[in-house]
Structure 1
Amino acid sequence: MKIVLFVCLLILSSLNNSIASNQKTIMLVLGSSNPEILASRIQIANRLYKVQQIDKIIVSGGCGAHKSSICEASIMFDGLVKLGVESSKIYKEENAKTTVQNYVFSRTLKDEHGKNIIQQGDTVFVVSNHWHAVSVAARLKKYDSVHAKFFIEGDISPKENDKLDYVSIFNGELDNDKFIRNALWLTPQASWQIKDNTYYLMDSLVYETNDGKVVSTSNRSHVFNDPRFIDQKGAWSFIENGNTWFIKVSDKIYVVDKSNMKIKNIFSWDNFVYNMPDSWKINSFNAGLIVDDKLILFSNDAVLVATKKDDKFVFQKEGEAAKIFTNWPFSWGKSNVAGVYGQTNNQEILLYRNREYLRIDRQLNVIQKPMNLNVKWVNTP
């Protein structure tokens, strides 16, 4: 009994040591649409970097927030590198346009191995020259099980109506799932239409809408209920293909008939695109579409184009969306499309990103500036 107990203690000790050894110290730098403020935050982050061991850095801020002419994450990345910070340590979160979205997008940002940068047990320093860092750190600590701290420097005199809990980030919504859905409402990963109703998949919930209002909500597993689907709780990536989807679930691609949501075929993700770059095999993609003989995949910061040859897609090129699509909007950054909807009746395609949609034609021309996806918010469990 003593020997068994001793062995068990050794195993537990080994597991604890392994978990502890994997814990990281991360710096999360919050962006600003004001270039002068952004420059100040770069300097603050650099000063912390010089006195604190930092394993990874997230610079969070999108392009064109509040009608600015800058891409916040890219400027912070370049600024820190010029100050001597190792570029390999810095990861750009290029979607956020608000402090709430700084939190929402950074907590799930992935590294080069496809894993969340912020993990349970990590230490996270939230860096800024404004009080909002306090609320973001507090939310990370309470809901993401990290050792969160805030690091604020500069002119921190509060304005007359400034709250320590900036825009009620910490106390405004105690249900974190609702908080996150509200920040992203509505950013679908897939969309389809049945008669007069439009359906949007967001994470693991399907919203049935009519005339801009949600009329019912279902779990993804109830709609896509073919028993051959695996990992119903994980992330799915949809490729729009007319009457079918190609859906990536874990390491498999499922060909799904839209008329009945049944699986027609299954094959390996690794074999989906011939000569696919290794970075795409690891990091996967967010969404995609098939147009004629072309396959287009969207990742966080790049677009992949492959061409169909016989019964296979062959890698052709990759690059920023602006080099693939004509008139790509500056505010949509390099890529980071969340979902695609092909409107077969008028040959238009809708791209979804950060509560907006973009209309393109089948020749990959943007034919309308980004529009708000106006669907009335509904608090659902």
Structure 2
Amino acid sequence: MKKIAISILLSIISLTTVFCHSKTIMLVLGSADPKVLDERIQIALRLYKIQSFDDIIVSGGCAAHGSSICEASRMYDQMTASGIPAEKIHKEENAKTTVQNYIFSRMLKNASGEKIMQPGDTVFVVSNHWHAISVAARLQKYDGVVARFFIEGSQQPKESDKLDYVNIFNGEIDNDKFIAKGTWLTPDAVWSVKDSIYYLMGNLLYVSNPENTSYTVEKLSSDRELVKGLDLEQDLHFIDDGKQWLIWDGAKFLPMDKISGKQRAPLAWHELLRNAPESWKHSMKTGFIQDGTLYLFSDSKLLIAKKKGKYFDVETETSADQYFKNWPFGWGKGNVNAASMDQETNEIQLYRNMEVLTLDLKQRTVKQVKPLRLKWVNY
């Protein structure tokens, strides 16, 4: 009986701990239309007056549907001007569709590197459109939160409009596939071997010829030689260093040969970067090394460090739009997901949200931006 009583007590303590740490979060869905977006901001401000929130996520990227606004920044600016503390508001600056509002918001992290949305949290999805219902439903079913929707406005539905907006809730029951389709293709790492291009996206590996006329796709497991020893469930960030990667998992750098998967001893943060701000441990997304210079990208910043002996020393902290000429408005201040180097041309390809950008480092110029159109295959 004592064992049963202790087990019950531990269960109660565990549940109490979960609920004590659960948060109330507002998720505001953006719009490329400035008038619509401003209306959604006002709805969010009215809700804030009657409901207490621990965190607010404003979701929307730059230049969606040809718009001239950065949605998350506009929401952030108006909310802080209305008195909401800046530290409560987190900008999700990738999304260009409602599906991506869901995908990128659920993965968004705070300054400490922790996901803002956690199982057990209560999330209010805010909009002037019924798409908030579908997003809330998917969050509750697949992400373990208690989801609510808060909708105001006078938008009139068309005959063809469905309550389940673009089948967000019922269209795909495999959430991994739903996320892959919604961001196809936003890779974590890209590399070439002979006439094959490899795109790694989570635990999905897509292999194509340069023309994308033939391709294969597979779900990776950790026993595959290429990724042996990697925890594919972790949030991994790849720095392209020519023939190898430096893979940051939030605690250490793992040097790995791109072709063989052979690994060297891991490096601590300070064994690679001596004087980088601590915040970069949590905000770094990708990077590359060329001619003794390390370039690191976060959502809004670019860090440049020079090789000095065994280490890299930080020389500049700026933003990609300030450093590179012709940086596209739609890419915000940086917001790069993956980087790869072309050893023959010395050009750099950067990947973000179904687009690829080519850099000329010598001229510090963006040469071109084009859609990354790869065939989708069910897996």
Determine if the TM-score, normalized by the shorter chain, exceeds 0.5.
Answer: yes
Corresponding residue for residue 350 of structure 1: 349
Q: TM-score, normalised by structure 2?
A: 0.95
Change (3 A) 1:31 1:226: closer
SS in 2 for 1:177: helix
SS in 1 for 2:177: helix
Deviation at 1:194, TM superposition (A): 1.7
CA–CA separation in structure 2 for the residues paired with 1:7 and 1:219:
41
SS in 2 for 1:267: coil
Corresponding residue for residue 88 of structure 1: 87
SS in 2 for 1:88: helix
Change (3 A) 1:264 1:105: same
Which of structure 1's runs of 4+ aligned residues deviate more than 4 A? 222-227
CA–CA separation in structure 1 for the residues paired with 2:320 and 2:294:
14
CA–CA separation in structure 2 for the residues paired with 1:22 and 1:146:
13
Deviation at 1:284, TM superposition (A): 4.2
Residues 273-288 of structure 1: pairs in structure 2 closer than 5 A: 273-281=273-281, 283-288=282-287
Change (3 A) 1:318 1:34: same
CA–CA separation in structure 2 for the residues paired with 1:323 and 1:191:
25
Corresponding residue for residue 248 of structure 1: 248
What amino acid is the match of 2:73? S
Please say if residues 205 and 220 of structure 1, whose CA atoms lie closer than 8 Å, have aligned partners that are also in contact.
no
Instruction: Show CA shifts across 1:177-211 (max 9, x none).
Output: 11100011111111111222111111112111123
Change (3 A) 1:226 1:93: closer
Q: TM-score, normalised by structure 1?
A: 0.95
Aligned: 1:215 with 2:216: yes
Please say if residues 329 and 369 of structure 1, whose CA atoms lie closer than 8 Å, have aligned partners that are also in contact.
no
Deviation at 1:358, TM superposition (A): 0.1
CA–CA separation in structure 2 for the residues paired with 1:291 and 1:325:
16
Name the % identity: 49
What amino acid is the match of 1:37? V
Instruction: Show CA shifts across 1:139-191 (max 9, x none).
Output: 11111111111101111321232211111111111211111000111111111
Corresponding residue for residue 329 of structure 1: 328
Corresponding residue for residue 135 of structure 2: 136
Deviation at 1:270, TM superposition (A): 4.1
What amino acid is the match of 1:246? L
Deviation at 1:23, TM superposition (A): 0.5
Aligned: 1:39 with 2:41: no
Corresponding residue for residue 379 of structure 1: 378
Corresponding residue for residue 206 of structure 1: 205
Deviation at 1:364, TM superposition (A): 6.2
Please say if residues 326 and 365 of structure 2, whose CA atoms lie closer than 8 Å, have aligned partners that are also in contact.
yes
What amino acid is the match of 2:6? V
Please say if residues 360 and 367 of structure 2, whose CA atoms lie closer than 8 Å, have aligned partners that are also in contact.
no
Change (3 A) 1:343 1:241: same
Aligned: 1:262 with 2:262: yes
What amino acid is the match of 1:296? Y
Corresponding residue for residue 61 of structure 2: 62
Deviation at 1:259, TM superposition (A): 3.3
Q: How many residues are paired up?
A: 377
Please say if residues 256 and 265 of structure 1, whose CA atoms lie closer than 8 Å, have aligned partners that are also in contact.
no
Corresponding residue for residue 239 of structure 2: 239
User: Which runs of 5 or more residues in structure 2 are unaligned?
Assistant: none
Aligned: 1:272 with 2:268: no
Deviation at 1:243, TM superposition (A): 1.4
SS in 1 for 2:208: strand
